[in-house]
Chains A and B, each alone.
Chain A
Amino acid sequence: MSRAASLPVIYSAQSVIGMSDFSEELKGPVTDDEQVETSVLSGAGMHFPWLQTYIETVAIGGKRKKDFAQTTSACLSFIQEALLKHQWQQAAEYMHSYFQTLEDSDSYKRQAAPEIIWKLGSEILFYHPKSNVETFNTFADRMKNIGIMNYLKISLQHALYLLHHGMLEDAKRKLSEAETWRHGEKTSSREILINLIQAYKGLLQYYTWSKKKRELSKLDKDDYAYSAVAQDVFNHSWKTSVNISALIKMPGVWDPFVKSYVEMLEFYGDRDGAQEVLTNYAYDEKFPSNPNAHIYLYNFLKRQKAPRSKLISVLKILYQIVPSHKLMLEFHTLLRKSEKEEHHKLGLEVLFGVLDFAGCTKNITAWKYLAKYVKKTLMGNHLVWVQEEWKSRKNWWPSFHFSYFWAKSDWKEDTALACEKAFVAGLLLGKGCRYFRYILKQDHQILGKKIKRMKRSVKKYSIVNPRL
């Protein structure tokens, strides 16, 4: 039941200029801080807000919290409130006072301050009407140099800000600056950041490359400019590949990077390379489960005209992650065409699976496929398969798909859909089913014949009344 209620997870490729993600990220950790401050997580997962204050007083020897700590934390909540209400002016006013946490005598808080200030401050400067790119630049440059912990992160976000304002060249420069920045020990977290910075640089190069490519496609081969542009296109590619390839070897979700990298590899005919990248991205267990990885691989293989069995094996994994994905209908077709019997059975499963989801209930293709395929399966003497699928659904599909209400509204909206559904309903629930009966009663001239045929098939094949 719950499966039906939850919509399929939609994984959209991260936009290249992820400013919206950026600002969300800004809000996230700050509220986390707040939570840490006010509550203690006990073993049982319960929150005791009072316990934290108690512990705090114990920790400082029974003394009450200093007013400095009190007012700055009040200041922080005022800033958050102002941000929430989009009162940038007020937020800036409080921010003016909040800077003093950089001088907090509590070293733990002092160290945490630059990051909080950066997040809040950049958010304010992003939206504040009096703010401009210069203000933001000054702020970012200042914050970068308070402690070395945040240099790379801030540089990257700074570059994203510039991108958002269409300042590609400046963004590229910031990224290059960050890339060559060396300070102190190289830690693993910093390495990831450097890779990310390089990859973003690569992405920017890709952007230029693809623009050039488009220009190239517009040009005539005999055009005198052609060779120059072509040369340019080629020059760009190797730089980009170096920049991106390091990142996508590390576990993570790198959709936009992978996509553009593969596009370039394909463009230069390095199919094996592209396939390796995609296979690695989809199958390496260290990577988080990512439907897009399988979609990219499937689309690539399809372009490469790979054998059916290979395509099936890719989609099988996608089926396990996102059974409601629109590619599932394609998957079904592949399975149907396959010679193996187990694939035929799976084809049925897939169709039922798709229709379990609320978002797919009006997908006429899915219903058409199901109607046809159930009939075919029953005709092929595989009643057990259908019964097996139906067993877990017979409790809720009738009210979920085949209620009287749906019959009426489906008929009103889309008679073709209603017919397909009625057919399935008849096959699964028998001719007594309300949905089926309702559609049957409707006297439709064009569909009359079809309905008659349907009635006959239902009589003959319905699983409710198996012919023995």
Chain B
Amino acid sequence: MDLEEAEEFKERCTQCEAVSWGLTDEGKYYCTSCHNVTERSKEVINSDIIPNAQIKALNRGLKRKNNSEKGWDWYVCEGFQHILYQQAEALKNLGVGPELKNDVLHNFWKRYLQKSKQAYCKNPVYTTGRKPTVLEDNLSHSDWASEPELPSDVNSPFLESGMESQSDVHTRKSLRISKALQSETSVCSGSLDGVEYSQRKEKGLVKMTVPQTLAFCYLSLLWQREAITLSDLLRFVEEDHIPYINAFQHFPEQMKLYGRDRGIFGTESWPNYDDIYKKTIEVATFLDLPRFPDITEDCYLHPNILCMKYLMEVNLPDEMHSLTCHVVKMTGMGEADFLTFDPIAKVAKTVKYDVQAVAVIVVVLKLLFLLDDNLEWSLSNLAEKHNEKNKKDKPWFNFRKWYQIMKKAFDEKKQNWEEARAKYLWKSEKPLYYSYVDKPVAYKKREMVVNLQKQFSTLVDSTPTAGKKSPSSFQFNWTEEDTERTCFHGHSLQGVLKEKGQSLLTKNSLYWLSTQKFCRCYCTHVTTYEESNYSLSYQFILNLFSFLLRIKASLLHEEVSLVEKELFKKKYSVTKKKSKSKKRRR
């Protein structure tokens, strides 16, 4: 123990048995008596990426032969911690407050390690067979929020400060023992517990996966009530603003990955909205988190604000906002109790804020224009005539014109998106391989691909394709100045509303429901979306919005049905009439 506490290298030289070391320029130890240079180096190279604590902890706690070819000894959860760290950094760069990383995400992660019995508990999973005597629950400890960086939680967070307690020694000892056991069995992974990890199956355990890291990020964003929705988060991932695909390639050089790690850290798919949404709830329930901070009207995630944002995004008149607000109010979707995520409630569920806001807009469009491939066009004719006559007035919103402009913009956007996806480069600079035998093959392949790519890039036009897009929560940009693409934000809805006394009514008095019947049971089967059963305008609008959110159109359709269910609650329960008139006030 004493040897380790002294910050110096105190092993005997393999050549002359002396213990007198100096440091070379490269940071390697050399024997001052016989000038033998060791393979060992003072391991603080990547201190900016990973805090010293971890390296030292690993190095000192697991003092075994660490040949440089094999790299450091590391655990799978450290890998995920590293990814989370990168993601938190990226979020910070996107403008999210620093508390997210330092407090929220950090604590969630610690809580996860504890709940999954990987650290901060009496009985960590790694000590197979032997139990350390004491290791108190650290969650209540004073370092809960005081750590500036994410430390190596596995081994104990406060090694760095030098206040080593008995308990840490115990943990480390047990770690060392389990490591000794594993090093013989876990040949097939770069991490120490890769094999064990992938075999671990316990009831109720939520295992970390790469998509799970995004669930953690989203939970923290939600906790902080940040202005990033789940669909934004996933889009940023897809646009490479947040590390996800091949996040492991930024691991320190010495953290080698192969074999089982490939299955754990390799990803060949972008995250999927529904999947991450489910995982978020799963993780929150597993962590046993308390009710989240209330989503109130001044939060970005409140439907009123999100509706405004999406109305701007799709170039619809600002006047529609009061209608969306009305729908939100009538359905009770603006209530904090409805909006706030409470994992310990009976049925843990959170709102798909972005999808819901968009669904409200779709409902409002249906209220105004019916979207039956008929009324919207005749209303457009009226608006066109009116606009021709009154060129000086605020123009009436013309659905047809809007459709033409949006269709063009949407098609272009989608085409670009598809092309960009087809060109996406999935493979990391650090190839993943199954075993050490495969390593040279994998590296050779990589080199070959790089060479071929280099050769073909000379054939491509010299003008480089516009580099990485800067992240934005808006995908479309509409300005008054652009004459090619009319901006409809300032257009009026006068053409589709009529006054009646004090209130305004929609000219259209009909409505059709996206779903006639809901399942009585509590299954998730709300509705099915068979595209061809619906009007073309409705299809277009669903496609447009679902593209913006990168979700399936059926998911949005489902949400629209749910909004309608709330809006026409009475009608659903009393009669099953298909169409009905609606009075609305402004």
Binding site for B on A (CB under 8 A): 66-69, 71-72, 74-75, 78, 88-89, 92-97, 99-100, 102-103, 105, 117, 121, 124-125, 128, 130-131, 135, 138-139, 142, 146
Contact = CB atoms under 8 A, between A and B. Distances in A.
Given A103-B446, A138-B455, A142-B451, A94 B270 contact: no
Nearest to B442: A103
Interface string B416-439: 001101111111000100000000
A288 B451 CA distance: 43
A71 B449 contact: no
B48 interface: no
Given A71-B421, A100-B425, A103-B431, A142 B459 contact: no
A130 B458 CA distance: 8
Q: Which one of B446, B448, B452 has the greatest number of beta carbons of chain A within 10 Å?
A: B452
Contacts of A105: 266, 268
B26 interface: no
B451 A92 contact: no
Contact of A92 (B425, B449, B459): B459
Given A75-B422, A97-B423, A102 B269 contact: no
Contacts of A72: 422
A96 B456 contact: yes
A128 B452 contact: no
B461 interface: yes
Nearest to A93: B460
A71 B422 contact: yes
B459 A130 contact: yes
A146 B425 contact: no
B274 to A, nearest CB: 11
A78 B422 contact: yes
Nearest to B458: A130
Contacts of B268: 66-69, 105
A139 B445 contact: no
Contacts of A68: 268-269, 426
A78 B446 CA distance: 23
B437 to A, nearest CB: 15
Interface in B452-472: 452-453, 455-461
Contacts of A92: 456, 459-460
A20 B452 CA distance: 25
B449 A99 contact: yes
Contacts of A78: 419, 422
11 contacts: A67-B270, A68-B268, A69-B268, A74-B422, A92-B460, A93-B423, A95-B456, A96-B453, A130-B459, A131-B459, A146-B448
Contacts of A75: 422-423
Q: Which one of B453, B456, B461 has the greatest number of beta carbons of chain A within 10 Å?
A: B456
Given A69-B268, A71-B422, A97-B425, 18 more contacts: A67-B421, A68-B268, A71-B424, A71-B426, A74-B421, A75-B422, A88-B459, A92-B460, A96-B453, A97-B423, A99-B449, A102-B449, A124-B459, A125-B459, A130-B458, A131-B459, A135-B455, A142-B451
A350 to B, nearest CB: 57
Contact of A102 (B266, B423, B424, B448): B448
Given A67-B269, A99-B452, A105-B268, A89 B423 contact: no
Contacts, number: 83
Contacts of A128: 459
A71 B427 CA distance: 13
B449 A100 contact: yes
Contacts of B459: 88-89, 92, 124-125, 128, 130-131, 135
A103 B453 CA distance: 13
A142 B452 contact: yes
Contacts of A71: 421-422, 424, 426
A96 B446 CA distance: 14
The 3 A-B residue pairs whose C-beta atoms are closest, nearest first, are: A68-B268, A92-B459, A67-B269
A124 B442 CA distance: 27
A99 B453 contact: yes
Nearest to A125: B459
B282 to A, nearest CB: 18
A124 to B, nearest CB: 7
Nearest to A77: B422
Given A71-B421, A75-B422, A103-B427, A96 B449 contact: no
B485 to A, nearest CB: 26
Contacts of A69: 268
Q: Which one of B270, B458, B460 has the greatest number of beta carbons of chain A within 10 Å?
A: B460
A88 B458 CA distance: 13
Contacts of B422: 71-72, 74-75, 78, 94, 97
Contacts of B418: 74
Contact of A100 (B266, B426, B456, B461): B426
Contacts of B456: 92, 95-96, 99, 121
A139 B442 CA distance: 20
Contacts of B452: 99, 102, 117, 121, 139, 142
B268 to A, nearest CB: 4
Nearest to A138: B455
B99 to A, nearest CB: 33
A124 B456 CA distance: 10
A89 B465 CA distance: 13
Contacts of B448: 102, 142, 146
A102 B270 CA distance: 20
B435 to A, nearest CB: 15
A94 B449 contact: no
Nearest to A143: B452
A139 B452 CA distance: 7
Interface in B259-296: 266, 268-270
A96 B457 contact: yes
A94 B459 CA distance: 11
Q: Which one of A92, A103, A124, A139 has the greatest number of beta carbons of chain B within 10 Å?
A: A103
